[in-house]
């Protein structure tokens, strides 16, 4: 063939391929989500094989090992005892609660690691919703926006007092980023950052996570606050609003099935963009690999590379520590 242009020339050797490589993963691309619980015991998580829910004592050793792997940040998700849950989720701003205790312990043991806390009511809500629930006479649910935002502010202040570096609202209430910024600044926490779950879809891929925390909604679904997976223009509306309200970083969630949305948000803001490879994405890879159907390491690295290539500056992933050890030089 008379072919002056042969793209394969750029792929002819490992050296050539590395020269023209556009996307390189490093340990600092990852954030490690950690499930935590009261007491000294660790437990395996039935809905997420391979993931541990850490007791208070052992969490610190795990955080130190994450830090040693080069992963710069962790995000904490608490399993709260049923007896501490309530319809007003008031345990979420208890300064002696599990999360503030653990934030203080982590910052004392490993001050260099960035501690991100989740701001939302679902682990503390007896209704299992991210906001306050009002039930109408006919049994239908309303999630109360403005009343919820007041509690989210108290929760974020509680995390800031404990020493959180970043608070991360995952609730999808309207106006919460501006309210959190105002509350933090008004209480002397101008340095605490906000990583907003700006574009969070009502995804079936969160199922295993809700199993890990016993936090599934008791009734109804989350479709009046989380977004319809069919929508992309609406993602820009949410992202640009959060930017205007003062978010420091924006997040798209889930990640793998929403690469177009990550790319769209990336192209519309100068803020850092995060993506969350969620529990269902973890489980699809983990279970297929366990059955011997996929090459686990290759698929994990391919999935993370694709999320970064789409435009994510960093990725929340259950594979964080493991992948960091694979990709560091």
**C-alpha–C-alpha distance, residues 30 and 312, integer Å:** 10
Closest to 307 measured CA to CA, from 279, 329, 285, 274: 274
Residue number with CB closer to ligand PBG (64 or 299): 299
Q: Which stretch binds ligand PBG (CB under 6 A): 63-71, 105-113, 206-214, 258-266?
A: 206-214
Identify the three-state secondary structure at position 111. coil
Active-site residue identified among 85, 222, 253, 308: 253
Contact residues for 159 (Cβ-Cβ < 8 A; gap 6+):
99, 100, 103, 117, 119, 167
**C-alpha–C-alpha distance, residues 78 and 102, integer Å:** 10
- Phi and psi of 317, rounded to 5°? -150, 140
Least Cβ distance, residue 309 to ligand PBG (angstroms): 21
Least Cβ distance, residue 121 to ligand PBG (angstroms): 8
Which residue of 170, 243, 286, 317 would you call a contact of ligand PBG, by CB under 6 A? 170
12 is catalytic: no
Residue number with CB closer to ligand PBG (124 or 189): 124
Instruction: Report the first-to-last Cα separation within the chain, whole angstroms.
Output: 41
Q: Residue 98 CA to chain centroid, in angstroms?
A: 19
Which residue of 79, 210, 296, 309 would you call a contact of ligand PBG, by CB under 6 A? 210
Q: What angle do the packed helices 296-310 and 279-290 form, to 10 degrees?
A: 150
User: x/- string (CB under 6 A) for ligand PBG, residues 106-135?
Assistant: ------------x-x-x-------x-----
321 is catalytic: no
Instruction: Count the residues in the chain.
Output: 329
SS3 content of the chain, % helix, strand, coil (to 5): 45, 20, 35
Q: Which positions from 212 through 251 interact with ligand PBG, judged by CB under 6 A?
A: 222
**C-alpha–C-alpha distance, residues 272 and 163, integer Å:** 22
Q: Please report whether residue 209 would count as binding ligand PBG according to CB under 6 A.
A: yes
Least Cβ distance, residue 248 to ligand PBG (angstroms): 18
Q: Which positions from 274 through 303 interact with ligand PBG, judged by CB under 6 A?
A: 278-279
User: Which positions are annotated as active-site residues?
Assistant: 200, 253
Contacts with ligand PBG, residue ranges (CB under 6 A): 118, 120, 122, 130, 170, 206, 209-210, 222, 278-279
């Amino acid at each position: 063939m008379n072919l002056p242009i042969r793209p394969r020339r750029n792929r002819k050797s490992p050296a050539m391929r590395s020269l023209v490589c556009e996307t390189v993963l490093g340990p600092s691309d990852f954030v490690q989500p950690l499930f935590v619980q009261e007491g000294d015991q660790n437990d395996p998580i039935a809905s997420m094989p391979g993931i541990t829910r850490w007791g208070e004592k052992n969490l610190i050793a795990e955080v130190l090992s994450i830090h040693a792997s080069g992963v710069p940040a962790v995000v904490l998700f608490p399993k709260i005892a049923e007896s501490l849950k309530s319809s007003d989720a008031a345990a979420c701003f208890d300064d002696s609660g599990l999360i503030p205790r653990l934030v203080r312990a982590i910052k004392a043991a490993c001050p260099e690691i960035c501690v991100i806390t989740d701001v939302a009511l679902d682990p503390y809500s007896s209704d299992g919703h991210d906001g306050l629930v009002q039930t109408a006479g006919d049994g239908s649910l309303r999630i109360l926006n403005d009343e919820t935002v007041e509690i989210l502010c108290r929760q974020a202040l509680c995390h800031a007092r404990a020493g959180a570096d970043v608070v991360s609202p995952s609730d999808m209430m309207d106006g919460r980023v501006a309210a959190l910024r105002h509350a933090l600044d008004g209480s002397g926490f101008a340095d605490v950052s906000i990583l907003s779950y700006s574009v969070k879809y009502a995804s079936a891929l969160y199922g295993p996570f809700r199993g890990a925390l016993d936090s599934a909604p008791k009734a109804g679904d989350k479709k009046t606050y989380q977004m319809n997976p069919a929508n992309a223009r609406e993602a820009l509306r949410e992202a640009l609003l959060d930017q205007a309200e003062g978010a420091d970083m924006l997040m798209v969630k889930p990640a793998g099935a929403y690469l177009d949305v990550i790319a769209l948000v990336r192209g519309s803001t100068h803020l850092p963009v995060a993506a969350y490879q969620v529990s269902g994405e973890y489980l699809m890879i983990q279970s297929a690999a366990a059955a011997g159907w996929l090459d686990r390491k290759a698929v994990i690295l391919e999935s993370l590379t694709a999320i970064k290539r789409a435009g994510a500056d960093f990725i929340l992933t259950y594979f964080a520590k493991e992948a960091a050890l694979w990709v560091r030089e």
